[in-house]
Structure 1
Amino acid sequence: MQLSPDNRSNNPLDLTKIRVRVSSFLGREDHLSCIRVCRDWFHDFAPLAWHTVDFDKEAAAFKKVPPEVLNKYGGFVSQTLNISTLSHIQALQHVKVNSIVAMKIHFNGNCLYRSMLSDLLRRSHGSITSLTFWCHPPEPNTFEKQRSGAYHYIHVNDIFAPFPSSTDPRSNASLGTRLKSLSLTHICLTREGFSSILQYSPLLDELTLDRVMVMYHKPGIPLYTGSALRYLSADFAQVWCNDSLDPSAPCLLLHFPLLEKWHLTSLAQPNNRTIDLKNLDFSSWCPLLQTVTFGSDDTDAISALLLNNFKDLKSCTLSAKTLAMSTALGLVSHMDSLTTIRFTGEAQEATSMQLLSVTMKLCRNLQVLSFESLVCDVETVEKIRWGCKGLRELRVRFQGLDTPEDIDGCLKKLCVTTRSGGIGSTRHLDKDTISTRIVQHLLQFKQLRTVWLGTKDYDLHRSSA
């Protein structure tokens, strides 16, 4: 008997959502087996089996795939990683390989390699949302040596390959309309080219620059300042166009008026100028910048930037090693706006608890505190009451909660007490125990939802429901 469409929909084996969930536990060989079961399974598993081609892992196997197979499955290839040789591009040289979403490409100076790469990008120009270009670092790894290596140079057409005009019926996208994420490593390009890349990428949301030389700024060439970029990963020197031949080139931040998040991978000064950290105002270029992550242990530079260069920060992430009086003062200078503070790595100073307590006392609008390496002394916490009554997420440890069982017991006690009515319901608890004192301290934060004390996250709302 044939199943009716309604009956078929009740069969678990015919539910796409079920098959997709099962597929997450399968390897590529299993995916290839599943696509042979039936037509429905083919449509669910074929995209997963052919989704990613990593040439570092499967170059030999993929190069043996015959054209007729690519004709059937090439449209499912969505991500190509570690393209680095002419043979890699040749393996993708098929008209049906035209829906790539993400590409990671090693750039070199071979003209034929670049020409065929341009063809591949042109075929996929309507689907690509993420591009990564990188070169091997020069030997020695200096900007001067990087400048002298022609294979480091990139131009606009390397990223936005020529394609049919908009009047051509085969064209399904305009220049750069889909690109959302771009990463460049050890690349050289002109300032005009950099400006054009931004202009041709109206949807570009994330940009990563690592040892990129932006060169040959000419005052007569207009710079594009309308980028919609919101996330930037680049070191301090990088945004100042670290090119010794362009000492007066303006800061790259002027291109990003809508920038919201900046990951400062390093705070080293540029090699072509000295920047006075006391006379900078990043808000003049990026008025919406409110989230900063410091990937450096330079306490003095972080303190100077927090005090002088950022305005109304909402979120700040920094290394625990940098927690000192100066950085605490820098954080407190944003006490009216800060809602998130995250410390990463191991705490080094014995005074970390005192400095953090002062910060927590004054930053009254704080909603998230994450300091996983800090071991709080309950007595110190009780003496200096935290002013951030709207705290929603807390990630710290406490002295006396030394085992997973202790932590679990404390958090369960917190959940039970919360469900029973809060601080008033702690009267029956043993007042002298560490867990009770911690529970009493945490109960003052009425909006607290997520707590981590050394083992796992506890959702207090779900646990107390």
Structure 2
Amino acid sequence: MTTTNPTEKNPFDLPELSYWLSRFVAFKDALSCALVCKAWTADFLSAVWFQVDFDDHPQFAKLSPDIVAKHGHLIRIVKNAKTPAQVSVLNNAGVDSLRDLHIDPTASAIQHVQVYEIIYRNSFNLQHLHLFAATLSHNKEVYSTHYVSAPALLPSSGPTPLVSSKLKALSLKQLCLTHNSLVTILQGCPGLTELRLPYTDMVGTPTRSFQHTGVKVLGSTFKSLFHLPTTGPSLLSYFPQLTTLSTFNYGLGAVTVPSTVIKGEISRYCPQLTGYYLEDSVGTITREFLTKIASSVTEIGFLYNHISLDIIMAILLHQTTMKAVKHFDVQPGFDFAEKEDVIPVSDDFQESGRFLQLIPRCCSKLEEINLHGHEMDMDDVEMDEWVCKDLKILRLRVKGLDTKDKILKAIALWRAGYWRKRQEKAGAPEAFDEQASLDQSIEARVARHLVKFDKLWIVWLGIDFKIHPQFDYLSPDTIAKHGHLIKIVKNASAFTHAASLDHPCVNNLRALHIRTETSVVQHLFAHDIISRNSTFLQDLDLFAAVFAVDKQDSFAHYVSSPGLVLSPSTSLSGPLKLKTLRVENLCMTHDGLIAILESCPGLREVRLVNTDVIDLPTKSSQHKGVTFFAASLKSLFRSNTDTAPSLLSYFPNLRTLNVWNFDIRYTIPSAEMKDNIARYCPRLTGYQLEDITGAIAMEFLTNIARNIGQLVFRHNNMSIPMIGAILMHQESLKTIMHFNIQPDLDFEEDRVAPLSTHFRRYGNILQQIPRACSSLKIMDLHFLEMDMDDVERGRWVCKDLTTLRIRIKGLDTEEKIVRTIGLWRAGCRRRWQEKAMGFPEPETKEDKTDNSIEARVAHHLLKFDKLLSVWLGYKTWTTVYHQ
């Protein structure tokens, strides 16, 4: 009897398997797999070329036309195509199968033409198209490049009639679109469901009408959507089946069109509209829509800082229909799926947070609650029943649930309780856990509350994997499952932090801030992490938490060889993407620094804070990309160049130098420093200078630097001699700033910042700077208070001023500052109307006679046509009405 053994087969020879594997591998793994064998090449090359994001892969713009022609048909998604080089490389006949395109057509006339050629070539396949102007222009109607070319968006087969487009979502940002072009697009795109026109102007008078029954979501400015009937048709008239509207009303104050007119247009044109996303400066638009305009609202989105008892009561007017209540991100760009950061709990409405409980207690049809910036108190939650039993998505914070451990425990208890509940419904005997029922911990209380909602499937409670001070050792299984999602790591200072991150699945970091010197093992962990992520790292910060005088004798204080640390795992990944490098309280050799510079061609910023660079180099090198360098005076300038070369010799294109000297014993002749700068960094014009007495700033200003364009110094070093030294550079100075007294000062904070008393008596002398420095564009002296009497005694000659941060005597409350900004913006609007339309908005009698401190400051600000950003002690304010 004979038997026949079946022929052995390699499972990886199955084409179906390699195809599905290619769908799930990371970019660099796909590159490696494409080289395994010819059979794999086709599948894995399609994964490599599937998406091109120029922000992530800028080197794509440098590919030859032959390579793009060969593989361009594999590209399906293009993001962030902004520059002429990026657009030019896409304008290739091989790139003909795009489904998603995100591109700027406005930079130049040739770029405009090329973009629409790309769109037309791919119009048979495009499903998502986002056209935008990367640079804001307030005169875009006079530029042909800002107009949308409707025919290019529609597929055509030569002389045959137009073929239906596959376009589903269209976004046009900061462009111009005629009404007739909009009709053309709508007629040619029957599958369109979402249209967004942020800051896009609708121009011209329509000569034809059309209604698109497929569009469900529309986004546009309030001004474009609602206006008096005599000024033209409403955009809403094109979309009779609209269900969701997103609109914003910035720069126009309160609603200017009567509520009855808006309500009439909505009921007339969009009777099915029930979802609203509303934004303005003060919350008026949200309250107007909820109380006077909208009916049977099912979905509402608004800014979190506009939550008030009025808004809550307005929401409750729609309690029988409301399905989703959410606020816009406290932190724009926050990704709940990747959990890259923790949104801080906002102070807005915390004290009256119990009133928010009225929403889930009254809105029985609620399916989504997204109030992730708000912290609820379980005492308030448990006082009454939530009636929203169909709840599916819940995002909020809970008081007391403030660590990673507590949140994970609450989620685990919820999952366990949900599983028991499902088993009991399936017929399993009821399991009573007496200990669990008696548990009154915050985790157990939250879990018991979540279990009440059978349909709940997404919960977010603010998990912190990276920046929480109690970051503990996570299990390898957890890291293996989620590690590839981590993009940013901050303050990894403990051994357990490094141990958790030293996992093969933590391989996609963009930014890393990690301590290396605690022990030899932690040092090795840290550098393994860097090496594994070097292909993607853009920002790297290595530090020792404590300054050590003898760090040169400690192995753990040395930055490891770049051959092991800062080289990508595969040469196919291209050059390293590192842009900024910061090394604090550590040591490195000159050869080590040179190797890092050579392996990182994209490096732009290097900071060596209390870091020793030792030994003689065995070779020389220059990095032409680094434009910012920071180091101590002792590291930069050596009295004996035979010991080691100046660090400046590595950076011939340096533009800005941050240097400090807190060792009063160390001095070096000014002539030698001047010679070093002239020899190695001839383009250096920006200086950030720090020491205890201000001597270093005086030395550079008077004896070393020439034609200074940027100057940053310590505020308590300001003196009359310092002002005299600054004026030696009055022809070239463009930026003057001082370092913050408060290192964590946030210019967006909702409180008036503190003042310094330094130099207050001689503040009038400060006026010599803006009166003499005609090239000045940025003046940031935010802790020094000026007197308007001093300001008004002379003329500021800095007519190109764009950014101003100062304090004014008498302008000392939020109300006064806000009024000042309002007067300045009103004046900017009048000036813009006069220049753009030929007639100004007339001043009121009160405007002409107002001599308050607010009016005086606003009048002074209006003298600077290019002024964009103003800080007077409370928030940073901008205006859209500039030249």
Map of 2:532 onto structure 1: 123
Once residues 851 and 878 of structure 2 are traced to their aligned partners in structure 1, the CA distance between those partners, rounded to angstroms, is 26
Corresponding residue to 2:667 among 274, 277, 282: 274
Counterparts of residues 39-118 of structure 1 (less than 5 Å)? 52-54=465-467, 56-60=469-473, 62=474, 65-67=475-477, 69-83=478-492, 88-108=497-517, 113-118=522-527
Pick which of 453-462 and 222-231 moved more. 453-462
* 1:416-449 deviations in Å (ceiling 9; x for gaps): 4454559x96986337544444444333333333
Once residues 202 and 397 of structure 1 are traced to their aligned partners in structure 2, the CA distance between those partners, rounded to angstroms, is 42
Corresponding residue to 2:631 among 231, 234, 240: 234
Counterparts of residues 325-340 of structure 1 (less than 5 Å)? 325-340=720-735
Aligned-residue sequence identity (percent) comes to: 21
| Structure 1 residue 214 displacement after superposition | 1.1
* 1:87-108 deviations in Å (ceiling 9; x for gaps): 5554345433222223333224
Q: Match of 1:237, SS?
A: helix
Map of 1:205 onto structure 2: 604
Contact kept? 2:538, 2:580, Cα under 8 Å = yes
Once residues 876 and 530 of structure 2 are traced to their aligned partners in structure 1, the CA distance between those partners, rounded to angstroms, is 43
Structure 2 stretches of 5 or more lacking a match? 1-190, 194-213, 218-242, 245-298, 300-323, 337-342, 344-371, 373-395, 398-403, 416-456, 742-755, 832-839
| Structure 1 residue 217 displacement after superposition | 1.7
Tell me the number of residue pairs that the alignment of Structure 1 and Structure 2 aligns. Answer: 430
| Structure 1 residue 86 displacement after superposition | 6.2
Pick which of 194-203 and 89-98 moved more. 89-98
| Structure 1 residue 331 displacement after superposition | 1.7
Counterparts of residues 171-190 of structure 1 (less than 5 Å)? 172-174=572-574, 177-190=576-589
Corresponding residue to 1:152 among 548, 554, 557: 557
Map of 1:360 onto structure 2: 770
Map of 2:206 onto structure 1: none
Map of 1:381 onto structure 2: 791
Once residues 818 and 570 of structure 2 are traced to their aligned partners in structure 1, the CA distance between those partners, rounded to angstroms, is 63
Contact kept? 2:713, 2:737, Cα under 8 Å = yes
**Distance change >3 Å, CA 440–CA 255, structure 1 → 2:** same
Pick which of 192-201 and 345-354 moved more. 345-354
Corresponding residue to 1:285 among 680, 685, 697: 680
Map of 1:169 onto structure 2: none
Residue 627 (structure 2) pairs with residue 214 (structure 1): no
Letter in 2 for 1:360: P
| Structure 1 residue 209 displacement after superposition | 1.1
Map of 1:132 onto structure 2: 541
Contact kept? 2:579, 2:605, Cα under 8 Å = yes
**Distance change >3 Å, CA 125–CA 395, structure 1 → 2:** closer
Once residues 502 and 859 of structure 2 are traced to their aligned partners in structure 1, the CA distance between those partners, rounded to angstroms, is 66
**Distance change >3 Å, CA 399–CA 181, structure 1 → 2:** closer
Q: Match of 2:632, SS?
A: coil
**Distance change >3 Å, CA 374–CA 94, structure 1 → 2:** closer
**Distance change >3 Å, CA 99–CA 401, structure 1 → 2:** closer
Once residues 309 and 442 of structure 1 are traced to their aligned partners in structure 2, the CA distance between those partners, rounded to angstroms, is 35
Counterparts of residues 160-179 of structure 1 (less than 5 Å)? 160=565, 166=571, 172-174=572-574, 177-179=576-578
Map of 1:442 onto structure 2: 861
Residue 644 (structure 2) pairs with residue 263 (structure 1): no
Map of 1:301 onto structure 2: 696
Corresponding residue to 1:195 among 585, 589, 594: 594
| Structure 1 residue 196 displacement after superposition | 1.7
Larger radius of gyration: 2
What is the TM-score with the length of structure 1 in the denominator?
0.76
| Structure 1 residue 406 displacement after superposition | 3.4
Contact kept? 1:292, 1:317, Cα under 8 Å = yes
Once residues 413 and 299 of structure 1 are traced to their aligned partners in structure 2, the CA distance between those partners, rounded to angstroms, is 38
Q: Match of 2:864, SS?
A: coil
Contact kept? 1:417, 1:426, Cα under 8 Å = no
Letter in 2 for 1:393: T
Once residues 95 and 451 of structure 1 are traced to their aligned partners in structure 2, the CA distance between those partners, rounded to angstroms, is 47
Contact kept? 1:231, 1:260, Cα under 8 Å = yes
Map of 1:341 onto structure 2: 736
**Distance change >3 Å, CA 267–CA 71, structure 1 → 2:** closer
Once residues 73 and 447 of structure 1 are traced to their aligned partners in structure 2, the CA distance between those partners, rounded to angstroms, is 48
* 1:196-244 deviations in Å (ceiling 9; x for gaps): 22122212222221221111225xx2221124212223222232379xx
Once residues 165 and 413 of structure 1 are traced to their aligned partners in structure 2, the CA distance between those partners, rounded to angstroms, is 58
Letter in 2 for 1:127: F
Contact kept? 2:502, 2:526, Cα under 8 Å = no
Contact kept? 1:323, 1:352, Cα under 8 Å = no
Once residues 113 and 312 of structure 1 are traced to their aligned partners in structure 2, the CA distance between those partners, rounded to angstroms, is 46
Structure 1 stretches of 5 or more lacking a match? 167-171
Once residues 565 and 796 of structure 2 are traced to their aligned partners in structure 1, the CA distance between those partners, rounded to angstroms, is 53
**Distance change >3 Å, CA 386–CA 351, structure 1 → 2:** farther
Letter in 2 for 1:195: I
Once residues 514 and 609 of structure 2 are traced to their aligned partners in structure 1, the CA distance between those partners, rounded to angstroms, is 15
Once residues 593 and 538 of structure 2 are traced to their aligned partners in structure 1, the CA distance between those partners, rounded to angstroms, is 18
How large is the RMSD of aligned CA atoms in angstroms? 4.3
Corresponding residue to 1:412 among 822, 827, 846: 822
Once residues 418 and 53 of structure 1 are traced to their aligned partners in structure 2, the CA distance between those partners, rounded to angstroms, is 44
Once residues 876 and 735 of structure 2 are traced to their aligned partners in structure 1, the CA distance between those partners, rounded to angstroms, is 17
Letter in 2 for 1:456: K
Once residues 87 and 412 of structure 1 are traced to their aligned partners in structure 2, the CA distance between those partners, rounded to angstroms, is 51
| Structure 1 residue 82 displacement after superposition | 4.7
Letter in 1 for 2:625: A
* 1:71-129 deviations in Å (ceiling 9; x for gaps): 43221122344556665554345433222223333224855555555544443232222
* 1:324-380 deviations in Å (ceiling 9; x for gaps): 222212221221222222235425124542321112111011122222233322232
Contact kept? 1:317, 1:341, Cα under 8 Å = yes
Pick which of 353-362 and 74-83 moved more. 74-83
**Distance change >3 Å, CA 229–CA 163, structure 1 → 2:** closer
**Distance change >3 Å, CA 432–CA 98, structure 1 → 2:** closer
Pick which of 5-14 and 254-263 moved more. 5-14
Letter in 1 for 2:586: I
Once residues 664 and 810 of structure 2 are traced to their aligned partners in structure 1, the CA distance between those partners, rounded to angstroms, is 47
Contact kept? 1:390, 1:447, Cα under 8 Å = yes
